[in-house]
Amino acid sequence: METRRITVLSAGLGVPSSSRLLADQLAASAKRQLGDAGYEVRVDVVELRDLAVDIANNFVTGYAAPRLAEVIAGVEDSDGIIAVTPVFSASYSGLFKSFIDVLDPKSLDGKAVLLGATGGTDRHQMVLDYAMRPLFTYLRTRITQTSVFAGPQDWGNADDGASPLSVRVDRAAGELARLLSGEQPHRKVDAMESLPFEQLLAGITAGR
């Protein structure tokens, strides 16, 4: 059974945060739909607020602390990314953008991405198309057609699978599942293996 690895990036600041709640719903739906398609799914959730100090230090020192380096490696090794941010000043949060800035831009090339955002009013949902989508388009990712915004009206009610939020979540997660099905472009190449001299010589000889 093939495995698909999804990294969930949540930039929420509260505990719990609406961004994390949305991220969890998107991840659960994507995992279920990929499982139905015959894939084994590994989901890694990253709370960016836990890395805030390491991210700031990385800008100053140019060095990623071990915990941040591990997360960066996990993102690079992922097949897909679910990225959810709260909206501040009509855009993604500074913490969210700062984390994206510490990544090697080429490391996201070709990755499947599902975008989500949360805010205090529906007027903020434009951030998905006017801030987040251009950012991830610049990074040459494959973005689902459907992005998901969750406002105050989407929380605090009984969600029986028929609410507008559930419909949007399942539609977007289904699109991510389809992007992650089949052969994946630009999958991370395994680290260069050190071969014995005899094998290297044999390969050179065979190529003559």
pLDDT digits (tens, 9 = 90+) for 118-177: 998 877 889 999 999 999 999 999 999 999 999 988 876 555 444 689 999 999 999 999
* pLDDT at residue 157, rounded to an integer: 57
CB 23, CB 82: distance < 8 Å: yes
- The band of 193, judged by pLDDT with boundaries at 50, 70 and 90, is very low
Smallest Cα–Cα separation from 137: which of 118, 173, 157, 110?
110
* Minimum mean pLDDT range among 108-112, 176-180, 199-203: 199-203
What's at 133, amino acid-wise? R
CB 11, CB 117: distance < 8 Å: no
Model-level pTM? Answer: 0.85
* pLDDT at residue 16, rounded to an integer: 84
Distance of CA 5 to CAs 17, 41, 90, 141, 187, Å?
24, 6, 31, 16, 11
Distance of CA 140 to CAs 20, 123, 165, 173, Å?
25, 27, 28, 20
Indicate whether 204 pLDDT > 90. no
Q: 199-208 — which CB contacts under 8 Å span 24+ positions?
A: none
d(CA 39, CA 35): 5
- The band of 182, judged by pLDDT with boundaries at 50, 70 and 90, is confident
Place of tokens 């388009």: 137
The tally of CA atoms less than 13 A away on the side-chain side of residue 19 is: 28
Indicate whether 199 pLDDT > 70. no
* pLDDT at residue 186, rounded to an integer: 57
Structure tokens at 164: 């507008």
Give 29 or 188, the one with higher predicted confidence: 29
For the chain, how are helix, strand and coil distributed in percent, rounded to 5? Answer: 50, 20, 30
Give 192 or 93, the one with higher predicted confidence: 93
Smallest Cα–Cα separation from 134: which of 187, 97, 95?
97
Greatest mean pLDDT among 39-43, 118-122, 193-197: 39-43
SS3 145: coil
Indicate whether 74 pLDDT > 70. yes
Smallest Cα–Cα separation from 111: which of 103, 122, 119?
103
CB 9, CB 48: distance < 8 Å: yes
* pLDDT at residue 164, rounded to an integer: 87
* Minimum mean pLDDT range among 10-24, 31-45, 155-169: 155-169
d(CA 146, CA 116): 9
Residues above pLDDT 70, as percent of the chain: 85
Q: Kindly report the average pLDDT of the chain as a whole number.
A: 88
